[in-house]
Amino acid sequence: MANWRELPCYHAAYGHLAGAPIVMTEAQDMTESSKSSNPFGDRLDRWLNFAFIVGCVAVFVLITFANVAEPDIWGHTRFGEDILRLHQIPTADSYSYVNQGFYCIDHEWLFDVMMASWYHTGGVLGLVLFKGLLVAALVGLLILPLRQAGFGLFSGAFVILFALQVMGPGIVVIRPHLFTYLFFAAVCLILREATLGSTKWLWLLPVIIVPWANIHGGFLSGLSVILIWAIVQSIVLFKAGNRLADIRRIWLVMIVSFAAHLVNPFGARLLEFLVPVIRSMQLEIGEWNPLAISSESGLYYLACCAAMLLSLFFTERKRQPSFVVIMSLMLIAPLTAKRHLALLVIAMLVFGAEHLASVMQQLAKALKLKSFSDFS
């Protein structure tokens, strides 16, 4: 029988009395190291985290509820008041001294009604609150893919704040394109989930298109992304094997989504109105002009291009063909109209979150950036 003095537990407990080295377990070692840590440093770290959170919230509130007045605000509000008063959508222009009485289509009539309702409820503050809720909802949608990709507090907040800065010109005004940002993000999220295997949300696409087509002409961007995704994803599924049922479902959803835009007071005339209007706006409205690379927005565009290309090249995660194609085509969009820069950012965060997380994690480890090493 072995001598009990030779057992490890004896040496761990009493070995030091005989001059033998103390054998500590892993739990004991962690306890001792925690006791020897600097309490001041721990408190400072907690306060820095708290200050960072407060700072992020303050910046978010400032960006979200900041507002730049523009003539469109009161035009939309007035048109909405007319609709509520007449209980119908006017089809004649009664405010233009040049085209007064001419037939017109108020393709943003639902947004006008919302503006009038919020203004009657809360005045100017109500309008600002309305815009703030839209931006907050957009941020909430963008957080979802970041969390799924493994972004933590610091890294996720950094990406979101950068995205808000890039979209700044579009989110400081109360205009219907805020709904385009929100619905575009929702469509991209649904397509992302469908690509990753959860196709049950696909039938929400036509549900989104219906209100979108009655709020803003940006629904065309949503239909374009759906079409591109359907083509690429069908090719991927076809090459993967005999999955014709999935391909048929994709195209059925796409057809229904395209038909959903017809659910509006003007029917097919909506597209007949929008196409020439968009062409004329490219000449008359600055935000429809091509993006100037030398401008501030151009620098943001270059930063987005670099981030996307580097993340796709150095990522350690699987690249989905549909995601790569959509993001690549979205790189071209701001070069046709600078207002599309916000849509590029949204597409990058939704479709490229995993790749961006992979590269940022590698960079944080290489540079030993502790604050940005909070990926899960």
Can you state the angle between helices 353-367 and 296-314, rounded to 10 degrees?
Answer: 90
What is the rounded CA–CA span in Å between residue 35 and residue 29?
Answer: 10
What residues have CB less than 8 Å from 226, skipping those under 6 apart? 187, 191, 205, 254, 257, 258
What is the rounded CA–CA span in Å between residue 66 and residue 64?
Answer: 6
Q: Which of 279, 299, 300 is nearest to 342 (CA)?
A: 300
* pLDDT tens sequence for the chain (376 residues): 444 444 444 444 444 444 444 444 444 444 444 444 556 556 656 676 677 677 777 777 777 666 677 778 888 999 999 999 999 998 887 787 776 667 788 899 999 999 999 999 999 889 989 998 999 899 999 999 999 998 887 888 888 988 988 988 888 888 999 999 999 999 999 999 999 988 889 999 999 999 999 999 999 999 999 999 999 999 999 888 767 888 899 999 999 999 999 999 999 999 888 887 777 666 667 777 888 899 989 999 999 999 999 999 999 899 999 999 999 999 999 998 888 999 999 999 999 999 998 888 888 788 776 655 555 5
How many CB atoms lie under 10 A from the CB of residue 360? Answer: 22
Q: What's the farthest any 2 CA atoms get from each other in the chain?
A: 110
CB 291 within 8 A of CB 301: yes
Structure tokens given for 293: 């690379």
List the chain domain ranges. 59-67+137-372
- Cα–Cα separations (whole angstroms), residue 160 to 151, 195, 242, 244, 360: 11, 24, 40, 39, 14
**What is the distance in angstroms between the CA of the first residue and the CA of the last residue of the chain?**
50
Half-sphere exposure for 15 (CA within 13 Å, toward CB): 14
CB 311 within 8 A of CB 317: no
pLDDT tens column, 300-358: 999 999 999 999 999 989 999 999 999 999 999 999 888 899 999 999 999 999 999 88
Global pTM reads 0.84
For tokens 């949608």, the residue is 141
CB 219 within 8 A of CB 212: yes
What residues have CB less than 8 Å from 163, skipping those under 6 apart? 142, 345, 346, 349
What is the rounded CA–CA span in Å between residue 194 and residue 320?
Answer: 12
